[in-house]
Amino acid sequence: GENITGKQAAEWGLVNEAVPLNTLQERVTDIATVLLGKNPVAVKATKDAIRRVMEMTYDNAEDFLVNAQEAANSFDNEGRKEGIRQFIDDKSYKPGLGAYKRP
């Protein structure tokens, strides 16, 4: 019930990061730039999944996420092909360690 500072929230693991007000706009822009470089279908699917599974049981959430992944794989065929090409051909993409480079 007590108020805490942003610094305390970061120390306690309640937030990812705390920045001074005078650098907030720059940091938000940096994060937005990173997000803009990611596959928009994957970003939307991730946001949708997080919103939907919050109220589900573990088993229901797992079923939902498997089905959502299968749907996303068939929907964003060009993004999928490009990611696979960069992984297999260029060796420039490593799944789980960042996004593939959008053409």
pLDDT of residue 76: 60
* Residue 73 reports pLDDT greater than 90: no
Angle between helices 58-75 and 40-53 (to 10 degrees): 160
Tell me what pLDDT residue 86 has.
82
pLDDT at 32 (0 to 100):
94
What span, in angstroms and rounded, lies between the C-alpha atoms of 91 and 4? Answer: 46
Q: Are 99 and 34 in contact (CB under 8 A)?
A: no
Q: How far is CA 62 from the centre of its chain?
A: 18
Kindly report the pTM of this predicted structure.
0.53
Please choose, from the candidates 26, 39, 10, the residue with its C-alpha nearest in 3D space to the C-alpha of residue 102: 39
Distances (CA, A) of 72 to 8, 11, 79, 90: 38, 36, 10, 23
Q: What is the pLDDT of residues 27-60, one digit of tens each?
A: 999 999 988 888 787 788 888 888 989 889 999 9
